[in-house]
Chain A
């Protein structure tokens, strides 16, 4: 039987390279994939923030979850306390009625809109509701409009 030596050698050579490169490539992909955790031990995105009666009128910082809960009469709203520029926690200024970021100086108005950069995106507002036990329930997975509120007769 006639066998072309050159092409057989060629074929084996290519096969060798193919196996080598795909092994190395596979190991690299697997190593990078390993870096992305599948299970996170972070705090849940939906959580309770206490009873409505405990909130006086005004803006209240919830340090553990980095949000503000706002109360106007019987309306409750929730807004992120995380600056949309680079993630610093902001403070509420009662005299300017604005949120101010200590890191790079961004300022947001009471609707969460940017009035001074470098931030470009407005603050996200979060869904707030009343859970069965009467506590306020905030869901960070649900972005809502600045007017979204829950009315509780306290």
Chain B
């Protein structure tokens, strides 16, 4: 190689060894299908940075929080863009988390030995939702207040421990300062900490599961068992690609944040429930289900069943065919069922968001709401 001759200085040798040397990496890095998992990680980083900036001004007080958010939008330099970035990154993370899970399902990559990582991923997704929910409570506007009220009433419907749990979460018998403080602690400390830990486990399992898979891959896969050990790409390649991906995500969020402002409703007012009061879009499907019956069934049993159903998928599917292949014909039934479930969820969100008017009465999107 001619390249070798040019590397004489120690600095060059360092650059060469670290960045140019081909390293053994799994084919999941080289053949990344969509890279959505990495995008989730970048969004998490963006959310951490913007969230830290927001914390400099935000005070979790029922009398001050709303005004702090107002200030961020008006008097603080770049405050509104940072808040918008925080909001839109969070939305994007829900969507890309969901797409990431769908990708893993449609390519059957949750199967043994990755069933544990599927569970870790599911918990991470639930934590994203938890972060989004607690984040919604912090501005202390009408959505925050009534969201908390409804959530606390759902908790109360848990048999046995319901009212005690509600007391702990609210820090009292009604939504107030204690509730906001607890929500804040969850949002800025507890959940990010747990998420970071779970993310570390998630990444470690990707590496570990690849090793396991490739060791046993000989019989029904085309690649050789030792493919993992063969140097395939350079760090330089991975760093360049991933940095560009991160920059694209950043650019997208930045432009979106400059163009669109994060909404802020009226200040929380326990005396007036807006009519209709709607949950944030990712929970409006649940709100629709809640309107069908007793909170115990619609608010606890139904969501838990949905979560358990997603969690046990890898433990029921023992097929070996079609791993790593999009929409493999042998998995037609699973794919149809999964798509149907996803369609129902999205349908519920659409009905709740666009077809419910005052009094949660059904309206077509083009109908006018009658105002009582």
Main secondary structure of the interface of A (DSSP, over half): loop
**A89-B272, A91-B372, A118-B293 given as contacts; is B174 within 8 A of A103 (CB)?**
no
- Which of A5-13, A17-25, A70-78, A80-88 faces chain B? A80-88
Q: Is B287 an interface residue (CB 8 A)?
A: yes
Q: In the complex, A32 Cα to B154 Cα: how many Å?
A: 21
Selected interface stretch from B189-197, B237-245, B247-255, B357-365: B357-365
Q: Which of B146, B168, B276 contacts A36 (CB 8 A)?
A: B168
**A35 vs B275: C-alpha distance in the bound complex, in angstroms?**
33
Q: For residue B153, which residues in chain A have a CB less than 8 angstroms away from its CB?
A: 85-87
* B287 & A104 in contact (Cβ 8 Å cutoff): yes
**Given known A36-B167, A40-B172, A86-B295, contact A103–B150 (CB-CB < 8 A):** yes
Known: A66-B270, A105-B361. A118 touches B277 (CB 8 A): no
B84 on the A face (CB < 8 A): no
Q: Which of B152, B172, B291, B372 sits near A87, CB closer than 8 Å?
A: B152
In angstroms, Cα B290 to Cα A88, docked, is 13
Q: Is the CB of A87 within 8 A of B149?
A: yes
Instruction: For residue B284, give the distance in angstroms from its CB to the closest CB of chain A.
Output: 12
Q: Decide yes or no whether B274 CB sits under 8 A from chain A.
A: yes
- A63 lies within 8 A of chain B by Cβ: yes
B223 to chain A, nearest CB (A): 47
Residue of B nearest to A107 (CB): B359
Interface of A toward B, CB cutoff 8 Å: 32, 35-37, 40-42, 63-64, 66, 85-91, 93, 100-105, 107, 117-118, 120
Cβ contacts A to B, 25 pairs, < 8 Å: A32-B168, A37-B178, A42-B172, A42-B174, A63-B272, A64-B271, A86-B295, A87-B149, A87-B150, A87-B153, A88-B149, A89-B271, A90-B273, A101-B359, A102-B360, A103-B150, A103-B273, A104-B287, A104-B291, A104-B360, A105-B360, A118-B292, A118-B293, A118-B298, A120-B294
Residues on B lying within 8 angstroms of A by beta carbon are: 146, 149-150, 152-154, 164, 167-168, 171-174, 176-178, 270-277, 287, 290-295, 298-299, 358-361, 372
